[in-house]
Amino acid sequence: MMILNASEVEWEEFSGASPLHFLDQSDPPLTPEAPPLSVWGVALCVSGTVIAAENAVVVTIILANPSLRAPVFLLLASLGLADLLAGVALILHFLFLFCVEPSDWSELLISGLLVTSLTASLCSLMGVALDRYLSLSYALTYGSGQSRRCAAVLLGLVWVGACIIGAGPALGWHCLDDPTSCSIARPLTRTYLSLLCGGFLVVVVVTLHLYAGICRVARRHAHAIATQRHFLPQHQSYASKHSGGRGFSRLAVILGVFVGCWMPFSLYGLLGDASSPPLYTYATLVPAAGSSLLNPLLYSLRNRDIRKVLVHSCCPHRPSQQAYQPTDV
């Protein structure tokens, strides 16, 4: 039974109807309609499709070529798989939002998939930085079979941990039953997202520390080589003349994109709450998801071996050039 407001009661008395309106049990129940398709929705679907497609190409190239089994390629395959899952999550979000009636289980599925993919992607980026540091510090021994086994075990632990963390919302760590505990990203609780973003910040700091070590080792090696070739005097710093070299410029771009994509959401997840404007959440989450779009361009497709395999797959009759090792910082 539903009691109408005062204006509706006066209208009902004037019309001769009873002020108490009983719901007709034969009326069909009202079902929520899907929101109208918007430009943002189309952009979401298109970006998810592009992310999934380009990362699927990277993963296929690495897994289909037995020669690409060095630790760096295992890490790039893990990074591509994580970003591929992020693209699939964006596509599923579009489908559940505009094509299928959303439900609690769909929200938990998408949020868990996004958390898993973003966690694995960020940890894989840290692994890429660790690989570059070790390859410079231990150039003679790194890349052996033992190193590949260690990299495979490390990636296995990363993915097991990412899946466990991503399963948190589905296992009950959500705010669907208690909206007051929601964070800036529903259905994740504030406690859950705070721990997640705190872990993200730790990984970001460790990755930046590794890249700082890469710069120190690269400059020391470059100065030693230049000194041996009598290219510079002993007292003159090689880095002072070549600090703007192409290798360090690429490294600066990688670090800028890395920090710009991950730092905003990590900080806002710690400081914001459910009362914060949703626009701020999208403004910080979009760069984190956009890193999945840039990672193949900054890491995988910059690798000369991967590019050579890709070009040979697209143009099999093109004469191959002499193989050479990648020299990117």
Per-residue pLDDT tens digits for 17-58: 443 443 344 444 444 555 666 676 777 788 889 999 999 999
> What's the confidence (pLDDT) of residue 229?
65
Does 240 fall in a domain? yes
- CA separation (Å) from 178 to 189, 253, 301? 9, 42, 45
Structure-block tokens of residue 167: 């399963």
> What's the confidence (pLDDT) of residue 158?
94
Q: What is the 3-class SS of 94-143, one letter each residue? A: HHHHHCCCCCHHHHHHHHHHHHHHHHHHHHHHHHHHHHHHHHHHCCCCCC
> What's the confidence (pLDDT) of residue 323?
42
Counted domains in the chain: 1
For 189, phi then psi, to 5°, come to -75, 160
> What's the confidence (pLDDT) of residue 20?
40
Does 197 fall in a domain? yes
> What's the confidence (pLDDT) of residue 216?
87
Pairwise CA distance, residues 257 & 297, whole Å: 12
CATH number at residue 60: 1.20.1070.10
> What's the confidence (pLDDT) of residue 143?
67
> What's the confidence (pLDDT) of residue 5?
43
Does 116 fall in a domain? yes
- CA separation (Å) from 107 to 87, 116, 272, 304? 16, 14, 20, 40
Does 151 fall in a domain? yes
Is residue 183 within 8 Å of 269, Cβ to Cβ? yes
Does 24 fall in a domain? no
Q: Which parts of the chain register pLDDT below 50?
A: 1-31, 232-244, 322-329
Which is nearest to 203 in space by CA: 268, 151, 137, 259? 259
> What's the confidence (pLDDT) of residue 203?
92
> What's the confidence (pLDDT) of residue 268?
87
Does 12 fall in a domain? no
Name the residue range of residue 83's domain.
Answer: 39-314
Does 158 fall in a domain? yes
> What's the confidence (pLDDT) of residue 33?
57
Structure-block tokens of residue 72: 């760096």
Other CB atoms within 10 Å distance of the CB of residue 325: 6
Q: pLDDT per residue over 204-228, tens digit each? A: 899 999 999 988 888 887 767 767 7
> What's the confidence (pLDDT) of residue 49?
92
